[in-house]
Structure 1
Amino acid sequence: MSTPDPRPRAVVVGGGIGGLVAAYLLGETHDVLLLEGSAQVGGKLRLGEVAGLTVDVGAEAVLNRRPEGVALARELGLDVVHPASTATAVWSRGELRPMPRTLMGVPLDVDALEASGLVSEAGLAAVRAEPGLDLAPLTGDVSVGDLVAARLGDEVVDLLVEPLLGGVYAGHARLLSVRATVPQLAAMAERGSLVAGAAALPTSDVPVFASLAGGMGRLPGVLAASGRFEVRTGATVRGLRRTAAGFELVVGPTPSEELLTADAVVLATPAAPTSRLLTDVAPLASAELAGIEHASSAVVTFAVRAADAPDLAATPLSGFLVPPVEGRRIKASTFSFSKWAWVRELGRSGGDDVLVFRTSLGRHREEASLQASDEELVAWSLADLADAVGLTATPLDTHVQRWGGGLPQYAVGHLDLVERVRHEVGTVPGLAVCGAAYDGVGIPAVIASARRAVERVSAGRSGAQLPPRPSSNS
């Protein structure tokens, strides 16, 4: 009787959500080792403690209208929840003004835009006039800001597009590729009017966002505990070489480096470390990835007694955005206690009614602002919250989470860059890349990127079966 061939060995480098999902899927067909350089897996999905309460201090939601994130959560047996409040405001000219429905800043309802009081009469007139303009169809790639400003005016960009893109990418609208970040806008611009295209979008009762009861930060731990792969933390990969049989990885510091071999390798690290690891294996892809810029950000989480902030406790808002033109320190605040029912319940669980909320700070090329101390970030946030919502309560506790270089910036031409990277990496059998640097920074997009990488390294293996790919309309 012949002995069956042993399962091939795969190494996944990087323990963010992309690497964890890649390892989880590869575990169906390979013996998988995941190597993470830091002390814990999860990347920008992380739980932290504030006033004794465990809450998200990183990404706190997943796009529900893409299926990858919620499908994975349900496969893992996790409880998916939706926001209790979706009412959002924009802090502009000293007031919290209702956020009208938009497609990344392009209004879906011009009357609602008028009612919000966000834009001037001249700005509103520009929006109303856009469907009747003789517009040249979009060709090639441009920035989101340049496209929208040329058609709807600077006010829409400055007051709507900028704060929304700043929340997702910590970037600037006039630097981010429309085809890479908001492809729906590019498709509308190819056909004609942005306003008419947005108004024609079908309405949906499906919630835009979802999370997990107990926080999105639970997801990494559940994946790591699935038993499908081995995890090693504190294991920095410093080199990658091709061998006759596959790959050799150099792990750990020079005085005590370790050599590991693998039949397949998935690099799920950010663009800069991936570039370094590809220097010899795929030099052209390495050079392309080295050119991707990144933004740093910080999340400050607060806990206050509800009795000390009664007006805040009664708010119907899930939070507010801050346009950069306002010159404030924070770029957004999320009222977690209002947005997520489980957070509100958690705040009441200890006998003292506690409100948990957070602010975010930091944008692309403004990293110097985050060189401040934790105490300064807290003080800046409290000062802005006092002006925005009248908060004067002294926090019971605070938590500052910094994300240095955590968000890749999709410059104009990003899709072509990604195609060139994948083309060269694709010439190396058994090698693939995934993560936030390629197809989107949101959790569903990163999960899809991981699945694509696994399909790449699994291609050609007899009997290699993956769970069916969820369909997506975005």
Structure 2
Amino acid sequence: MSDSVHPVHPGRPHVAVIGGGISGLAAAHRLTGGGVRVTVLEGSGRVGGKLYAGEIAGMPVDLGAESVLARRTEAVDLARAVGLGDRLQAPAATALLWTRGTLRPLPGGHMMGIPGDLAPLAASGVLSPEGLARVAGDATLPPLDLGEDVALGELVAARMGREVVDRLVEPLLGGVYAGDALRISLRAAVPQLFEAARHAPSLGEAVRQLQARAAAAPSSGPVFQGIEGGIGTLPLAVADAVRARGGVIRTGAPVTGLARTGDGWRVELPGGEVLAADAVVLAVPAPDAARILARAARAAGAGTAVDELAGVEYASMALVTMAFRRSDVEGLLHGSGFLVPPVDGRTIKASTFSSNKWRWNADADPDVFVLRTSVGRHGDDAGLELPDAELVARSLTDLGDAVGLAAAPLETRVTRWDGGLPQYPVGHVARVARIREHVARLPGVRVCGAVYDGVGIPACIASAYRAAGEILADLAAPAGGPRHGRGE
């Protein structure tokens, strides 16, 4: 026999987790806590995925995601569980909006750029008088009719005018999805607003109702949090915790396919290596999941899952991280950074002043100031085709125009995330339901990650916990019961 087969430990279920990003590691953490043997297989040379701790000018920085939504507790709870609780840190300062040739305050009273309160919007100068009048007209329009789903940007444009979409919704939504607001599903991207809007007379009233509920809820701390040393330290700590529980984590181990073997699975790797598993969690981007599942899914009559996964679109982006002498930027960089509406035609879509935003970053070296810019969104990859040096140069040009920055950086680093963010077009929630329905025809297989339940870190962790919980329940089922069944 030419294959090298790694057998399951007798009497102890073994789960293969394919993908070593935060979703796969969170699933492995939950699974090892449930007493099963786990092997994490990551195709690249490191764990963490879009959470990536690095350094510049000798200082620790995040080269990927830099904060988590703390009001949703999954990420903060996981950080505490793996020993990072005392390193959680709230961001400082406030963000601005660079539009119409100047930096302006990001108006309060909005949800994902959709205004509920006109006063701060009017004071900000972000919209023209005509734009403000169009927003006010939302209250006079017929009641909302959202149907099964609607594009967020199209709804806002119809109710409040295109100016709100261009100047507010696009820059805020772009920071989360790097997507096109006119295509992104309201139901998938902002589900709480979709539900509120179904019962509200206007879009602004739906926003106000949600804000009133949030204000009435007991405060549980900051809305966002980071981690001293960077959010990229979270997957490293989770990986250490998985190993401490006996889990195995392999990098440089791309999975090429799955094959059913009686009550289990053959997880196929390059060179003829095969890993035997009782169950499998796929925590990889949709194209990789489609490729890995293709043969087994079509054999089981679940080819729809493969087709739906293959149809998910992704946006690419790049982060340009730069370190300056603090004395060269003193007095220029205020707040935590700024967002840039695409309609203004700039290369960068945002800049984060990391040394203002994060105390741990400022304390790392008081003589150095770190900032970063982001480039790229769905359907607009022109900037991403530029070489690194040109991306740096264009970022510096935009920073010069925005804040008067003229200094040369001490060091720069460009991090490219090709196909980094899944897009949620209208109908995405139904697509995810179809994927899960057909994957459930593969006994003992589950999927999780940013494709399914939200691109934020807490949502990815929740998706992982759902998959791991179903696998544990499945494996615990008595003989003759629903083991390897749907687990629902």
Measured against the shorter chain, the TM-score band is over 0.9
Per-residue CA deviation, residues 432-465 of structure 1 (Å, 9 max, x unaligned), is: 000111111100000000001101211244499x
Partner of 1:354: 368
Equivalent residues of 1:100, 1:109 under 8 A apart: no
Partner of 2:264: 246
The amino acid that maps onto 1:292 is: V
Partner of 1:12: 17
Equivalent residues of 2:30, 2:468 under 8 A apart: yes
Partner of 2:486: none
Partner of 2:4: none
The amino acid that maps onto 2:67 is: A
Query: Is structure 2 residue 45 aligned with structure 1 residue 30?
Result: no
The amino acid that maps onto 1:64 is: A
Displacement of 1:208 in angstroms is: 1.6
Q: List structure 1 segments (4+ residues) > 4 angstroms apart after TM superposition.
A: none
Residue correspondence of structure 1 range 62-141 to structure 2 within 5 A: 62-78=68-84, 79-85=87-93, 87-101=94-108, 102-141=110-149
Per-residue CA deviation, residues 233-289 of structure 1 (Å, 9 max, x unaligned), is: 10010111111131001102xxx2311110010000100000111112222101100
CA distance in structure 1 between the aligned counterparts of 2:144 and 2:454, rounded to whole angstroms: 28
Residue correspondence of structure 1 range 364-443 to structure 2 within 5 A: 364-443=378-457
Partner of 1:183: 191
Per-residue CA deviation, residues 167-217 of structure 1 (Å, 9 max, x unaligned), is: 111101011111000113312321221112222322545422111111101
Partner of 1:292: 312
Query: Is structure 2 residue 236 aligned with structure 1 residue 215?
Result: no
CA distance in structure 2 between the aligned counterparts of 1:110 and 1:146, rounded to whole angstroms: 20
CA distance in structure 1 between the aligned counterparts of 2:475 and 2:195, rounded to whole angstroms: 37
The amino acid that maps onto 2:320 is: V
Equivalent residues of 1:58, 1:217 under 8 A apart: yes
Displacement of 1:312 in angstroms is: 2.6
CA distance in structure 2 between the aligned counterparts of 1:99 and 1:322, rounded to whole angstroms: 11
Query: Is structure 2 residue 343 aligned with structure 1 residue 325?
Result: yes
Partner of 1:271: 286
CA distance in structure 2 between the aligned counterparts of 1:121 and 1:371, rounded to whole angstroms: 38
CA distance in structure 1 between the aligned counterparts of 2:36 and 2:285, rounded to whole angstroms: 24
Displacement of 1:366 in angstroms is: 2.2
CA distance in structure 1 between the aligned counterparts of 2:449 and 2:46, rounded to whole angstroms: 17
What TM-score does the superposition give when structure 2 sets the normalisation length?
0.90
Partner of 1:46: 52
SS in 2 for 1:280: helix
Residue correspondence of structure 1 range 145-224 to structure 2 within 5 A: 145-191=153-199, 192-200=201-209, 201-202=211-212, 203-204=214-215, 206-224=221-239
Aligned-residue identity in percent: 53
SS in 2 for 1:237: coil
Displacement of 1:97 in angstroms is: 0.8
Displacement of 1:93 in angstroms is: 1.1
Partner of 2:5: none
Cα RMSD of the aligned pairs, angstroms, is: 1.5
CA distance in structure 2 between the aligned counterparts of 1:161 and 1:132, rounded to whole angstroms: 21
SS in 1 for 2:164: helix
Displacement of 1:292 in angstroms is: 0.4
SS in 2 for 1:331: strand
Displacement of 1:401 in angstroms is: 0.6
Displacement of 1:24 in angstroms is: 1.0
For residue 335 of structure 1, the aligned residue among 333, 337, 353 is 353
CA distance in structure 2 between the aligned counterparts of 1:444 and 1:386, rounded to whole angstroms: 35
Partner of 1:470: none
CA distance in structure 1 between the aligned counterparts of 2:260 and 2:379, rounded to whole angstroms: 36
Partner of 2:363: 345
CA distance in structure 1 between the aligned counterparts of 2:96 and 2:259, rounded to whole angstroms: 51
Partner of 1:472: none
Q: How many residues align?
A: 451
CA distance in structure 2 between the aligned counterparts of 1:460 and 1:52, rounded to whole angstroms: 48
Equivalent residues of 2:60, 2:361 under 8 A apart: no
CA distance in structure 1 between the aligned counterparts of 2:365 and 2:134, rounded to whole angstroms: 45
Per-residue CA deviation, residues 395-441 of structure 1 (Å, 9 max, x unaligned), is: 01111111010100011100000000001111222110001111111
CA distance in structure 1 between the aligned counterparts of 2:97 and 2:92, rounded to whole angstroms: 19
CA distance in structure 2 between the aligned counterparts of 1:117 and 1:185, rounded to whole angstroms: 25
Between stretches 156-165 and 421-430, larger displacement belongs to 421-430
CA distance in structure 1 between the aligned counterparts of 2:443 and 2:115, rounded to whole angstroms: 46
Partner of 2:482: none
Partner of 2:485: none
SS in 2 for 1:438: helix
Equivalent residues of 1:144, 1:176 under 8 A apart: yes
Partner of 1:471: none
SS in 1 for 2:309: helix
Displacement of 1:36 in angstroms is: 0.5
CA distance in structure 2 between the aligned counterparts of 1:199 and 1:113, rounded to whole angstroms: 14
The amino acid that maps onto 1:277 is: I
